[in-house]
Amino acid sequence: MKIKLYDTMSRKVKPIAPVDGETFRFYCCGPTVYGPSHIGNFRTFLLQDILRRLLEVAGLKTYHIRNITDVDDKTIRQSQSEGKSLKEITDKWTVLFHSDCRELNMLPPHKEPRASDHIPQQIELVHTLLEKDYAYQARDGSIYFKISTFPNYGKLTHLDQIELKTQIETSGNTHNLVDEYERETVADFSLWKARKEDDGDNYWASPWGEGRPGWHLECSAMSMEYLGDSFDLHGGGIDICFPHHENEIAQSEAATGKTPFSQHWFHGAHLMVEGRKMSKSLGNLYTLEEIKKRGGSPMALRYLLISGHYRQPLNFTFNGIEAAQSAVNKLEKSISEILENSKMNKEDFIQLQQTAEVDGWGQFENAWEALINNLNTPACLGNIFSALNNINASKLKENETSLNLTALARLTYTLGLKLFFGDNAAAVAPDAVRKLADERWVAKQDKDFTKADELREQIQAAGWQVNDRKGTYDLELV
């Protein structure tokens, strides 16, 4: 079974498969935890979640890495402005991010490395680049990657090398210290930033003096730590294709001498809000919490964010949220009718979603084909409703009904649609309980079962029960 996906570098839809023939290894740029993630961020994360589910339902083993950026200009600036430690700030927003992920029914990654926990790996990478003369030390002590030493710079985003204007220094005769810059100007980018007064206590020792890593360096170091010098797929929003991913390729391939850094590049398009670009100044960087306050459910938001093709900009509206909720309700009603005729209940269907093996796609063949051919989620959803109409309008034999229910269950699982919970879903656990549950989940993944059991007892003492599911967990009141 071939799953095909658009590759940003080749500009072609190509089959994807694990290079080693066993495990599909992929890295996704995660959140920068200086505030709540907005719905534009989650459009990207949800697409990555569907890709992983699709691979697994298709029978492939996956190894999914998604990082936490907790050391960069934004997190440090927030820490300094609030007068709190960097860890206090980033832990707070990481807990909220995990809570939002659970409400949106996202599978947790197999590993979620934090930049602050991988400083030695980043220092080693800088050391290698200096040794190979791809980097140099500036007057202020910072270390920069010199893009003129990497002839293929710009190959991901197809920048015209003739038209590139390389800016090593600003008009003020100082190096450009920012991590992000305009497409028209390409700067030698920072690998290691020398300590500044504005950084406060947020610095680390290095052979080049006290400082901190650059944003681009962090992802290269973490991806190579867990996936090696080359892996199957790298994902993120189109907004970080340049310069972030372009710089990752340059520093990684320069350091290892191996190409390609990633076999496939997967980028999702922008999210618009009410026809306008998302921006802080417009006040339209909506979060999940704000959507809920205005009457939208997490599943309605998930449905809306996956209702457009990932390669096309999607326009979010609150009317769209209402329409998405109606679609979810209609889906549940149609499935309920089939279940009733089959003398099955909703719990049976939920169980099928999680564990069923598919012997064929029956009436849902077109829906499945839409997903494996460039993750066409809108076509998949449309075909699901068409198939449901056909099933409910005809009398199927018992074995046909069973096959179609199984296919539908696994399709809705692949889309991540958590059905039959609605307004009766368990109450949202307080932050303290969610933090304990997150810590327990990490301990369990690390096989520290003693710690996991201790944390479970603390959660139960607070009046909550943690229920492990496939790839995630739920919390409910006891």
Q: How many CB atoms lie within 10 A of CB 311?
A: 16
Residues 6+ apart with CB under 8 A from 189: 144, 145, 147, 179, 214, 216, 243, 247
Reply yes or no on whether the pLDDT at 181 is more than 50.
no
Specify which residues 262 forms β-bridges with: 231
CA gap 217, 122 in Å, rounded = 7
Is residue 432 left, alpha or beta, with left meaning phi > 0 and alpha meaning psi from -120 to 50?
Answer: alpha
In the chain, DSSP finds a helix count (H) and a strand count (E) of 15, 17
Kindly calculate the radius of gyration of the chain based on its CA atoms and give it in whole angstroms: 24
Peptide bond into 113 cis (omega under 30): no
Higher pLDDT, 28 or 183: 28
Is the pLDDT at 228 greater than 90, yes or no? yes
Write the DSSP assignment of 127-152 as a string of letters: HHHHHTTSEEE-TTS-EEE-GGG-TT
Structure confidence by residue, pLDDT tens digits, 457-476: 888 877 788 888 766 787 77
Query: Does residue 343 or residue 333 have the better pLDDT?
Result: 333
Q: At what angle do helices 318-341 and 377-393 cross, to 10 degrees?
A: 40
CB-facing half-sphere around the CA of 72: CA atoms within 13 A: 20
**How many whole angstroms separate alpha carbon 356 and alpha carbon 56?**
12
Q: Residue range 203-210: average pLDDT?
A: 96
For residue 58, give both structure tokens. Answer: 């298709």
Asked if pLDDT for residue 420 goes beyond 90, the answer is no
- In the chain, CATH 3.40.50.620 sits at 3-268
Residue 397 pLDDT exceeds 80: no
pLDDT at residue 395 greater than cutoff 90: no
The amino acid sitting at 403 is: L
Q: What is the pLDDT of residues 264-320, one digit of tens each?
A: 999 999 999 999 998 888 888 999 999 999 989 999 999 999 999 999 999 999 999
Q: Which amino acid is at 162?
A: I
Q: Count of CB atoms within 10 A of residue 379's CB?
A: 17
* Region of residue 275 (left: phi > 0; alpha: psi -120 to 50; beta: else): left
In the predicted structure, residue 178 carries a pLDDT above the cut 60: no
For helices 398-414 and 377-393, angle between their N-to-C axes, nearest 10 degrees: 160
DSSP 475: E
Check if the beta carbon of residue 429 is closer than 8 Å to that of residue 475: yes
pLDDT of residue 140: 87
Task: Tell me the pLDDT band of 170, cut-offs 50, 70 and 90.
Answer: very low
Q: How far, in Å, CA of 15 to CA of 325, rounded?
A: 34
Q: Enter the CATH code of domain 3-268.
A: 3.40.50.620
Beta partners for residue 465, in sequence order: 476
pLDDT of amino acid 182 = 41
Contact between residue 213 and residue 189 where contact means Cβ atoms under 8 Å apart: no
Structure tokens at 271: 């999210």
Q: What would the pLDDT profile of 349-393 be if each residue is shown by its tens digit?
A: 888 898 878 889 999 999 999 999 999 999 999 999 999 988 876
Range in 203-217, 377-391, 429-443 the model is least confident about: 429-443
Q: Which residue has the higher pLDDT, 168 or 122?
A: 122
CA–CA dist 40, 37 (Å, integer): 8
Instruction: List the end-to-end C-alpha distance of the chain, in Å, as a whole number.
Output: 44
In single-letter form, the type of residue at position 33 comes to V
Amino acid code (one letter) for 338: I
pLDDT of amino acid 396: 65
- Token pair recorded at residue 400: 């046909």
Distances (CA, A) of 383 to 199, 345, 380, 396, 437: 53, 24, 5, 18, 38
CA angle 402, 407, 410 (to 5 degrees): 125
What pLDDT is recorded for position 162? 43
Angle between helices 39-57 and 298-305 (to 10 degrees): 80
Q: What is the pLDDT of residue 422?
A: 52
Question: What is the model's pLDDT at position 478?
Answer: 60
Q: Write down the mean pLDDT value for the chain.
A: 89
- Mean pLDDT within 198-220: 95
- For 366-394, the three-class secondary structure string (H helix, E strand, C coil) is HHHHHHHECCCHHHHHHHHHHHHHHHHHC
Does residue 455 surpass a pLDDT of 80?
A: yes
Lowest mean pLDDT among 96-110, 165-179, 323-337: 165-179
pLDDT in tens, 22-79: 999 999 999 999 999 999 999 999 999 999 999 999 999 999 999 999 999 999 999 9
Tell me 146's DSSP state: -
Contacts of 410 (CB under 8 A, 6+ apart): 57, 352, 353, 356, 358
What percent of the chain is predicted at pLDDT more than 90?
70
User: Strand, helix or coil at 242?
Assistant: helix
The token duo for 456 is 């479970």
